[in-house]
Amino acid sequence: MRNEEIAKTLAAIGSFLEMDEVAFKPRAYARAAEAISNLEEETSEIYKKGGIKALEEIPGVGASIAEKIEELLKTGKLQYYEDLKKKHPINVAELSSIEGLGPKTMQLLYKKLGVKNLAGLEKAVKDGKIRKLPRFGQKSEEKIEKGIEAYHRHSGRFPIGEVAGLAESIKDMLWKVPGVSRVDIAGSFRRRKETVGDLDMLVISTRPKAVMDAFISQPDVIEVIAHGNTKSSVRLKIGIDVDLRVVNAESYGAALAYFTGSKPHNVAMRQMAQDKGWKLNEYGLFRKSGKGWIGLAGKTEEEIYEKLGLEYVPPEMREDLGELDLAAVHKLPRLIGYKDLVGDLQVQSNWTDGANSIEEMALAAEKMGYKYVAITDHTKRLAMAHGLDEAGLAKQGVEIDRVNKKLKGRIKVLKGTECDVLKDGTLDISDKTLAKLDIVGVSIHSYFDLPLKEQTARLERAMRNPNADIVFHPTCRLINKREPISIDMDRVIKVAKETGMVLEIDGIPDRLDLKDEYIRKAVEVGVKLSVDSDAHAIAHLPFASYGLAQARRGWAKRSDIVNTWPLERMKKMLKS
DNA sequence: GCCGTTTTCGGCCCGACTGTTTTCAGTCG
C-alpha cells in the first residue's frame, strides 16, 4: 500500500471522527495523514526496515496510529476504518476535494439527502435540494456547484515555474493600484516549493477597497470566491486560486511570516511564543499586560524571529524540518545565494535537440554572468534527438575550439555530453571518446520502469565508469506527468560519495531533479551537486534559478555546488 | 491521539469570510 492511500485513509478517519464530534483526535489523524503524504520514502519500506517502532518515529504518528498503519500494510484493510465507514457510508476522500465541503456539511448532506459521493452531490445540486436544507440557501448551493465544476476542470498543483510569470504579473498589476506601497507573493511560492496549490499575495495599502476591486476585476478571473475588506480570493482561468490580503505596515512582517508558512513552521513558532506567555498571530507578536496585549514586534519578519530568540530563517527552509532548532542556537547553514553560480554544466545546442548554436548559447551564458558553460548534447541512442556518435562529438569539439578562440577571455565553453545510460548500465559512447571530453554527464532516457534493484544497479554501473562526472536529472521524474524511476537513492548517494560523482539538480520547472529532500541527504554526507538549467534554448538558461531554489530548500551551501567554483577548481573536482 | 529542555498528564494555533443567522457554525489557510 502506497503512502497516498495510507494518508487518504487516515484523513478520512479524521473526518469521520469530526462528524462524531470527537475531541482532538480528528486533528491528530489529519496531522498523521499530512506527515505520511509528505514522506519521500514509502511507509511500507520504513516498516520493512524498522517495524512498528520506526513508524512511531514519523512525527505525528504515535503508538495507536502506528498500529493502524501496520494493520493496513499487513492486511490491506483496517477494521477501525471499516467500522467508521459502516457508521458513515460517505466517500470522504472524494467529497473533501470539493472546495467548501467539510465533514460537518458532508454529514448533513448524507443525513438529509442521502448524499454519499460526488455523483450523489451532483444530483442533489441539479435537483435544487441543497438550498432547502437548514442553514443553506441558494448561495451555498451555487458555491458547491462551482466547487464541482472546478474539481472537474482542475485538480492538482502547478509546477512553480509554470505559474511564476503569472504571479509576477499580478504583482506588477497590484503595484500600479494607487495607495499601494508594498506587494509580496507569500505562501509556498515564496518558500519555492516545487509545486504550488495556490498563490498568496500580500499588500500594504492606504486604500484597501481600490486594491480589492482591481484584484477581483483582473481579466483572467472566472470566479470571485471571497471579497472582503482585508481578504479576497479569486479563481483564474487556468484553474489556480489566488488569495489577496491587505494589511497595514505595522503588522506587515507578521502577516508576511504568517502567510508564507509553512503551516507546521508557523505552528511551531506560535508554540514558542506561547511558551513565553506571548501570542503570535498575523498581526504581530504580543505580550500580555493586564487585560490587553502589548505589541512586541510585527513590522518585519526579522524582528519577530529576533524577539523569539531565533536567527532569521530563509523562506525556503520554513518547513519545520529542524530549522527552528538550528535557528535557536544560531547555527543555520548559510544557503547558496541566487547569484552564486558561475557556470552551467548542462546545456544543449542545435547539434542535437537544442534551438541555438554553440556560439549563441555561449554568448547567452556570458550574459547570465557565467565564466563557463558545458555543451552537453545527447548521444546516439537518442535517435529522436539526433544524438551524436563518436565522430559527431569529435566534430563538435572542433567547433567548440573555434568558439573558444573567438570568445577568449569572456567565457569558456567546455566539451561535454549528456551520455545515454543503456539498459545494462553501460554508456553508449566509447570510453576513449568520453576520456577526451571535459565533462561527461550520464542520464537515463529509457527503461524507466525497471524494478528497484535492477534500476539502481544500472545507474551504479554508469556512475562507476571512470569517465562519468555527473548524473543528470537522477530520478527522471516529470512533475505531474511521470513518476520518478524506482531507485534506491541512499545507495546512489553512497556511490556518489565513494566515487566523487556529482549529482545534478536539473532546473527545468517540471523536473527539479534532484528534489529538495534528496538534496538535503546528499549535502548531509558531503556529496557535491551541480545546479544546471538543462537549457534547450537561450531562453531556458534562467531555469537554473529554480534549481537554486531547490538547492536552498535542501539546505545546500555555496560550497556544496560545484558550479559556484572557479573553472580550475571545479574541473579538478571532477573524476579523472 | 500525540507530545515533552516547564513533561508520562494535561495541554492541543488562531483569525477572516461566508451565509445564514439575529449571534454563530463551518471552512479555510
HEC states along A393-423? HHHHHHHHHHHHHHCCCCCEEEEEEEEEECC
Decide: helix, strand or coil at residue A201: strand
**A275 in contact with nucleic chain B (CB within 7 A):** yes
**A398 in contact with nucleic chain B (CB within 7 A):** no
Least-confidence region, from A68-72, A144-148, A333-337: A144-148
**A529 in contact with nucleic chain B (CB within 7 A):** no
**A23 in contact with nucleic chain B (CB within 7 A):** yes
Q: Which residue has the cell 450523489?
A: A120
What are the residue ranges of helices labelled H in A529-574?
544-553, 567-573
Q: Do A307 and A363 belong together in one domain?
A: no
Judge whether A442 and A472 are in contact, CB under 8 Å: yes
Nearest nt (C1') from A200 Cα = B29
Average per-residue pLDDT for chain A: 90
A23 CA vs B10 C1’ separation (Å)? 14
Structure confidence by residue, pLDDT tens digits, A402-435: 999 999 999 999 999 999 999 889 998 999 999 9
Q: Considering the domain boundaries, does residue A257 fall inside one?
A: no
pLDDT of residue A277 exceeding 60, the answer is yes
**A267 in contact with nucleic chain B (CB within 7 A):** yes
Among residues A84, A98, A86, the alpha carbon closest in space to that of A130 is found at A98
Residues 217-246 of A with CB under 7 A from strand B: 226-232, 241, 243
Domain-terminating residue out of A275, A301, A328: A328
Question: Which residue's CA lies closest to nucleotide B6 at its C1' atom?
Answer: A275
Q: Do A166 and A223 belong together in one domain?
A: yes
**A446 in contact with nucleic chain B (CB within 7 A):** no
β-bridge pairing A529-532 and A502-506: parallel
Structure confidence by residue, pLDDT tens digits, A17-51: 999 888 889 989 988 888 887 676 789 988 998 99
* pTM, full prediction: 0.78
Nearest nt (C1') from A58 Cα = B2
The residues facing A286 across adjacent strands are A279, A295
Distances (CA, A) of A446 to A280, A381, A416, A449, A480: 52, 10, 21, 9, 19
Q: Considering the domain boundaries, does residue A337 fall inside one?
A: no
CATH code for the domain in which residue A25 is found: 1.10.150.110
pLDDT at A408: 93
**A308 in contact with nucleic chain B (CB within 7 A):** no
Q: Do A172 and A63 belong together in one domain?
A: no
Q: Do A425 and A544 belong together in one domain?
A: yes
CATH code for the domain in which residue A370 is found: 3.20.20.140
A117 CA vs B22 C1’ separation (Å)? 34
User: What does the pLDDT average to over A178-192?
Assistant: 94
Q: Concatenated DSSP letters for A349-402?
A: -TTTT-SS-HHHHHHHHHHTT-SEEEE--BBTT-GGGT-B-HHHHHHHHHHHHH
What are the cell numbers at A253? 512582517
Q: Do A180 and A282 belong together in one domain?
A: no
Judge whether A535 and A495 are in contact, CB under 8 Å: no
Q: Do A281 and A137 belong together in one domain?
A: no
Among residues A515, A513, A535, the alpha carbon closest in space to that of A374 is found at A535
Question: What is the C-alpha to C-alpha distance for residues A113 and A125, in angstroms, rounded to an integer?
Answer: 11
- Total tally of structural domains belonging to chain A: 4
β-bridge pairing A198-205 and A231-236: unpaired
Q: Do A399 and A299 belong together in one domain?
A: no
Decide: helix, strand or coil at residue A539: helix
A275 CA vs B3 C1’ separation (Å)? 15
Look at chain A and count its residues.
576
Q: Considering the domain boundaries, does residue A523 fall inside one?
A: yes
Q: Which residue has the cell 465533514?
A: A103
pLDDT at A151: 74
Q: Do A115 and A220 belong together in one domain?
A: no
pLDDT at A496: 96
Structure confidence by residue, pLDDT tens digits, A111-139: 888 899 888 898 888 888 888 888 888 88
A308 CA vs B5 C1’ separation (Å)? 16
In this prediction, residue A15 has a pLDDT band, given cuts at 50, 70 and 90, of very high
Q: Considering the domain boundaries, does residue A334 fall inside one?
A: no
Which region holds residue A320: left if phi is over 0, alpha if psi is between -120 and 50, else beta? left
pLDDT at A500: 94
A563 CA vs B15 C1’ separation (Å)? 45
Q: Do A532 and A432 belong together in one domain?
A: yes
A105 CA vs B27 C1’ separation (Å)? 10
Q: Concatenated DSSP letters for A49-79?
A: HHHHHHHHHSTT--HHHHHHHHHHHHHS--H
Q: Considering the domain boundaries, does residue A54 fall inside one?
A: yes
What are the residue ranges of helices labelled H in A283-357?
301-307, 323-328
Give the number of C-alpha atoms closer than 13 A to the C-alpha of residue A212, restricted to the C-beta side: 17
Q: Do A426 and A302 belong together in one domain?
A: no
**A60 in contact with nucleic chain B (CB within 7 A):** yes
Q: Considering the domain boundaries, does residue A251 fall inside one?
A: no
Q: Considering the domain boundaries, does residue A335 fall inside one?
A: no
**A101 in contact with nucleic chain B (CB within 7 A):** yes
pLDDT of residue A384 exceeding 70, the answer is no
CATH code for the domain in which residue A303 is found: 3.30.210.10
- Any idea what DSSP says for residue A3? H
A355 vs A526, higher pLDDT? A526
Question: What is the C-alpha to C-alpha distance for residues A543 and A506, in angstroms, rounded to an integer?
Answer: 9
**What is chain A's alpha carbon radius of gyration, rounded to the nearest angstrom?**
27
Q: What percent of chain A has pLDDT over 70?
A: 98
Q: Considering the domain boundaries, does residue A256 fall inside one?
A: no
Nearest nt (C1') from A35 Cα = B2
Domain-terminating residue out of A271, A304, A328: A328
Judge whether A256 and A186 are in contact, CB under 8 Å: yes
In this prediction, residue A497 has a pLDDT band, given cuts at 50, 70 and 90, of very high
Domain-terminating residue out of A217, A246, A275: A246
Residue A224's domain spans which residues?
158-246
CATH code for the domain in which residue A168 is found: 3.30.460.10
Q: Do A376 and A234 belong together in one domain?
A: no
Q: Do A424 and A523 belong together in one domain?
A: yes
In this prediction, residue A480 has a pLDDT band, given cuts at 50, 70 and 90, of low
Question: What is the C-alpha to C-alpha distance for residues A544 and A563, in angstroms, rounded to an integer?
Answer: 11
- Any idea what DSSP says for residue A573? H
In this prediction, residue A368 has a pLDDT band, given cuts at 50, 70 and 90, of very high
Strand B: positions under 7 A of a protein C-beta atom = 1-3, 6, 11-21, 25-29
Residues 6+ apart with CB under 8 A from A169: none
